[in-house]
Amino acid sequence: MTFLQAFDLKEITSVTLILFAIIDVVGTVPVIIELKRKAGRIDAERASLAVLLLMVVFLFLGNQLLSIIGLDIASFAIAGSLVIFFIALEMILGHKFFKEEASTDEITSVSIVPLAFPLIAGAGTMTTLLSLKSQYHTENIITGIVFNTLFVYLVLKNTHHVERLLGKTGLEVLRKAFGIILLAIAIKLFRSNTGL
């Protein structure tokens, strides 16, 4: 089978939709807005590139990387759940775990952690990639990753439109509501990987 023959529209569509559902960048818009408010701005290009690289590298080297450093998927997921947990607490309680004034380095840092990982390319996404690898051709998975990364970039670039649409009160209500949802997701992720 040649490189071009491996491309399959049905497989690409399936992979793209599966990753779209797992990444759920639309559902994390309130969190993205909160991070943007805290850092001053989000570097959409850097965050998107980090997401793309994380997913492609993990697709090829995920199991090896985790085994080299003596980690399993469960430990990886628990670490991600703790980061999400603290972001959720910050959204709900208004208590700041990070400084408000952000330098260029801090903007870069927020764009990569916690935005690129674990919010967008989190443990769920990484685990899904390893599962997809056993069912689909690598070329189709990479194509699905690229499509999802482009969508992530478009969402990150246009969060200001959402901010304007909702206004200050709407954003505050949404922040609290999604903070609770994010907290529940963090607890579920923690429980499912600790057996509690």
Q: What is the pLDDT of residues 49-108, one digit of tens each?
A: 999 999 999 999 988 888 898 887 778 778 777 877 887 888 788 776 655 444 556 667
Range name among 80-84, 123-127, 137-141, 177-181 with the lowest pLDDT average: 80-84
- Express as a percent the part of the chain with pLDDT over 90: 25
Q: Above 80 in pLDDT, residue 153?
A: yes
pTM of the model: 0.74
Higher-scoring residue by pLDDT: 167, 70: 70
- Residue 148, judged by CB atoms within 10 A of its CB (0-12, 13-18, 19+), counts as buried
| DSSP 3-state of 38 | helix
Q: What is the DSSP string of 74-95?
A: HHHHHHHHHHHHHHHHHHHH--
Which token pair is 14?
Answer: 């399936």
Region 128-136: mean pLDDT is 84
The full set of domain ranges for the chain reads 4-90+98-194
Residue 47's pLDDT is what? Answer: 94
User: What's the pLDDT band for 141 if we cut at 50, 70, 90?
Assistant: very high
Report phi then psi at 187, rounded to 5. -65, -40
Residue 100's pLDDT is what? Answer: 45
Residue 183's pLDDT is what? Answer: 84
